[in-house]
Amino acid sequence: MMRGNLFAVAVDLVVLTVRHDQLHVLLVRRGERPYESHWALPGGFVRADEDLGDTAARELAAQTGTATQGAVQGHLEQLGGYAAPGRDPRGRVLSMGYLALLPDIPDPETTNGPTAAFLPVEDVYGLAFDHDVILADGVERARAKLEYTTLAAAFCPPEFTVTDLRRVYEAVWRTEIDPRNFQRKVTSTPGFLIPTATRVTGGRGRPPQLFRRGPATALHPPMLREPVSMAHATT
């Protein structure tokens, strides 16, 4: 029975969050060869009794703290497989990329493990292995999914304002969105936002309404990030 070559299988996480109106990604500084002292995506090898999603969830909890998992409704999904020959000098390694979207949480404590920090996605390049590619794929996936899903709320804390949500879109897409039209769009989508009794206090202007995530997952019709109106172009 021909079984082909054997691979080590790892999971690498693209953990995104929005901090200071900028998209950030969680990176770890490698403490061993290869790529020692380079920044890399957090990840690890799949254990004997684990499915891929189990490994991803375990690594995510290990990197961000278990407390994050239960309380905050983040998002974790598979991105794709990366297995180019030579991508790891140690041998044949297939890496499954996973995409995680989280609210803005503090940088992980650097107690026993390696240094870990959220860095602005724009400033990131020269990661270890082919992690630049995996990161780019993850960011593009996140950008695309904001269009037709309600996943932007995964970047927000359990209770948030419409302005918070809009800043997520603006940070991820690097665009500006009209606050009035945005308000109309998201509040008129049934099941997207559930109003909360409480209001924010202490701000500068009128206190905004607080919302929780609703049960809706799809956005129909989608939110468009590009100017449409390219129909009737003379081609």
The label of the residue with tokens 């109003």 reads 195
In sequence order, the 6+-apart residues with CB closer than 8 A to the CB of 163 are 179, 208
User: Would you give the binding string for a second copy spanning residues 39-58, x where CB under 8 A is met?
Assistant: -----xxxxxxxxx------
- What count of other Cβ atoms lies within 10 Å of the Cβ of residue 38? 15
Fill in the amino acid letter for 30: R
Query: Closest approach of Cβ 50 to a second copy, in Å?
Result: 7
Identify what 80 binds: DNA, a second copy, none; CB under 5 to 8 Å per kind. a second copy
Comparing CB distances to a second copy, the nearer of 188 and 201 is: 188
Binding piece for DNA, criterion CB under 7 A, among 25-33, 50-58, 105-113, 224-232: 224-232
Comparing CB distances to a second copy, the nearer of 54 and 122 is: 54
- DSSP secondary structure letter of residue 152: G
When asked if residue 221 is in the footprint of DNA (CB under 7 A), the reply is: yes
Comparing CB distances to a second copy, the nearer of 201 and 235 is: 235
The label of the residue with tokens 């603006």 reads 170
The token pair that represents 140 in the structure block: 């593009």
Query: Closest approach of Cβ 39 to DNA, in Å?
Result: 34
- Which has the closest alpha carbon to 57: 87, 29, 96, 22? 96
As a whole number of angstroms, the distance between CA 148 and CA 233 comes to: 25
Among 181, 190, 197, 215, the residue binding DNA under the rule CB under 7 A is 181
Query: Could you write out the DSSP letters of every residue in 87-148?
Result: SSTTS-EEEEEEEEE----PPPP-SSS--EEEEEGGG----STTHHHHHHHHHHHHHHHHHH
When asked if residue 85 is in the footprint of a second copy (CB under 8 A), the reply is: yes
Identify what 163 binds: a second copy, DNA, none; CB under 5 to 8 Å per kind. DNA
Among 161, 171, 173, 193, the residue binding DNA under the rule CB under 7 A is 161
Among 65, 191, 203, 207, the residue binding a second copy under the rule CB under 8 A is 191
As a whole number of angstroms, the distance between CA 164 and CA 81 comes to: 33
Comparing CB distances to DNA, the nearer of 16 and 171 is: 171
Instruction: Report helix, strand or coil for 229.
Output: coil
| Contact residues: DNA, CB under 7 A | 161-163, 178-181, 183-185, 187-188, 201-209, 221, 223-224, 227-232
| Contact residues: a second copy, CB under 8 A | 1-10, 32, 44-52, 78, 80-81, 83-85, 90, 92, 94, 96, 148, 188-191, 220-222, 224, 226, 228, 230-233, 235
